[in-house]
Amino acid sequence: MNQNLTDLFRKKQKKSEADTGIDWDSRRNDYLAAVDALYKKIEAILAEPIGQKSLTLHRRPKSLTETYIGTYSVEDLVLVIGDEQVRFSPRGRNVVGAAGRVDVIGERGEATLVLRPGAGWEFVQARQPALRVVPFDESTLAEMLEAVMRA
């Protein structure tokens, strides 16, 4: 066998033996806590229209299945505004370039929120030609809702 391959396999075996592993339960729990914090932030931003009964919101349980993490329960957050619904739907913890993802789904389209380590939740404004994200706040919530809801 090629010496480079032999060296690579030995190196990987030593690293595997020394590695304590990834705590997937902790990663899942951190993601679930971040999703809950996101929902609470949305509820706080929308407290006035909720109080005026301009919109209602509720949570709906669902299951997610991810490699290494397994199947777990999480909630969608559903906003009902007039005759239209917007759903915040967690897509998972294991996403490339982020520590989690939530899709925002309305009748006119979809938007994406990503959880970035050290930055918190961010709104994906564009994917092409380069990824452009901005922090999630009241103004980006308005921008997202306008993008996914009927005019």
pLDDT of residue 32: 97
pLDDT of residue 19: 61
Q: Is residue 3 part of a domain?
A: no
Q: Is residue 28 part of a domain?
A: yes
Q: Is residue 6 part of a domain?
A: no
| Range 115-133 average pLDDT | 89
Q: Is residue 139 part of a domain?
A: yes
- Backbone Cα Rg of the chain: 20
Whole-number Å distance between alpha carbons of 47 and 104: 19
Percent of the chain with pLDDT over 90: 74
Question: pLDDT tens for residues 27-50?
Answer: 999 999 999 999 999 999 999 999
Question: pLDDT tens for residues 97-121?
Answer: 899 999 999 999 999 999 998 889 9
> How many folded domains does the chain comprise?
1
* Mean pLDDT, rounded, of the chain: 92
State pTM to two decimals: 0.84
Q: Is residue 17 part of a domain?
A: no
DSSP state of 150: -
Q: Is residue 8 part of a domain?
A: no
Question: Domain residues for 61?
Answer: 23-148
Residue 92 in this model has a pLDDT that exceeds 80: yes
Q: Is residue 91 part of a domain?
A: yes
pLDDT of residue 86: 98
**Alpha-helical runs (H) found in the chain:** 3-18, 24-45, 47-51, 138-148
Residue 16 in this model has a pLDDT that exceeds 70: no
Q: Is residue 10 part of a domain?
A: no
Instruction: Determine contact, residues 81/54, Cβ cutoff 8 Å.
Output: yes
pLDDT confidence bin for 131, thresholds 50/70/90: confident
